[in-house]
A and B are shown apart, each in its own frame.
Chain A
Amino acid sequence: MLVPYLLLGAALFSLGLIGFVTRRNLIIIFLCTEMMFQGIIVNLVALGRYPLDGRPTFDGQVFSLFLIGVAAAEAAVALALVVLLYRHRGTLDANAWTALKDE
């Protein structure tokens, strides 16, 4: 059952990547990064549950918990930045922020 889980993880990561590249709404872009995290969590837990050799360990689950923590930190900072950008220009369009210079 390892290969199906890894395939699903890869599919979630790729879909998140496509959304990250193609969507223009800043909030959707950050949602797509969270979707990539979901794919990585599936991968980590699957590799812990079905290891290539030896007994299954809990390392994958522990790493996934760390990943959830990092995702929470990232969401806090990213959404604060999104709110700040929205107050500056009144738009969430990523194309409005192609130049990140100070005004």
Chain B
Amino acid sequence: MPGVLIVVLVLGAIGLFLALPGGRLEWTRLGLVSLAASGGALVFLIVDRAAGEAGLALFIGGALVALFSAVRIVTHRKPVYSALYFVLLVVAVAGLLIGMQAEFLAAALVIVYAGAILVTYVFVIMLAQKARPPGYDSRARDPFWGCLAGFALLAVLGRQLFLPAAVTGDTAVPGAGTVEAVGTALLTQYVVGLQVIGLLLLAALVGAIAIARRRVTAAPEPELEGAD
């Protein structure tokens, strides 16, 4: 495992632990600075690994935006802002997909995620709005163990990725993920899966309506806060 990767992981873990809600605001800023340093080390690592390959600049730009918005989704104390940062994450991932010549998938991702799913999330956030900000948004649950588990997973995956000669170089012939190409694959080889996913969506919609229409008889109890 290269030493730079260890620096990235340690700085990232410390930064995320400090930036998670629960501490004071200055610690959050310190954590964000540490995370930015971790991102810089990551850029160095990737440039070192894939120097001169096509599409590197687009990848680095998209990856930095994606990682920044991902960190803000996890650490922001206001749910509406988390949802808006998720839109930014979807746009960044769509840019990365265009870099991998998956144009149709990028368009579908933006339409379905940023257009449909996120609007539903924002509606639910507004439905569950409180007059004053509730306490559970400003206190994380076991941030130390959470960061440890997540970055241990990332360390294992990163170590495997950076084993010498684990993956070959760019042997790919460029192809384009146009509607025609993806649609042909979808309607010939994977046509059964397409039917199944349609059935799943129908079942989920019926289930969602059945759940949401249920009458609630119990009066809302007073809010339980800080019940760790």
Q: Is the pairing of A and B real? A: yes
Which A1-31 residues have a C-beta within 8 angstroms of B? 1-8, 10-19, 21-25, 27-28, 30-31
Q: Are A80 and B211 in contact (CB under 8 A)?
A: yes
9 contacts between A and B (CB under 8 A): A1-B59, A5-B100, A12-B67, A12-B89, A21-B149, A61-B177, A68-B108, A83-B124, A91-B223
Q: Tell me the nearest residue of chain A to B166, going by C-beta.
A: A3
**Complex: A49 Cα to B171 Cα, angstroms:** 10
- A-B interface contact total, Cβ < 8 Å: 285
Which B170-190 residues have a C-beta within 8 angstroms of A? 170-175, 177, 181-182, 185-186, 189-190
We find that the number of chain A residues with CB closer than 8 angstroms to chain B is 80
B225 at the interface (CB under 8 A from A): yes
Q: Which size class do B's interface residues fall under?
A: 35 or more
Q: Are A27 and B158 in contact (CB under 8 A)?
A: no
Tell me whether chain B's interface is mostly helix, strand or loop, or mixed.
helix
Q: Which residues from B are CB-within-8-Å of A66?
A: 190, 193, 197
Q: Which residues from B are CB-within-8-Å of A7?
A: 42, 46, 157-158, 161
Not counting A11-B67, A50-B170, A64-B105, a sample of 16 additional A-B residue pairs whose C-beta atoms are within 8 angstroms of each other reads: A8-B63, A8-B96, A10-B157, A14-B154, A15-B73, A19-B74, A22-B140, A28-B79, A31-B86, A58-B182, A69-B201, A71-B117, A79-B121, A84-B214, A88-B220, A95-B228
Q: Are A76 and B205 in contact (CB under 8 A)?
A: yes
Q: A residues engaging B (CB < 8 A)?
A: 1-8, 10-19, 21-25, 27-28, 30-32, 34-35, 38, 41-42, 45-46, 48-53, 55-62, 64-66, 68-77, 79-84, 86-96, 103
**Complex: A71 Cα to B118 Cα, angstroms:** 11
Q: Which residues from B are CB-within-8-Å of A92?
A: 128, 134, 136
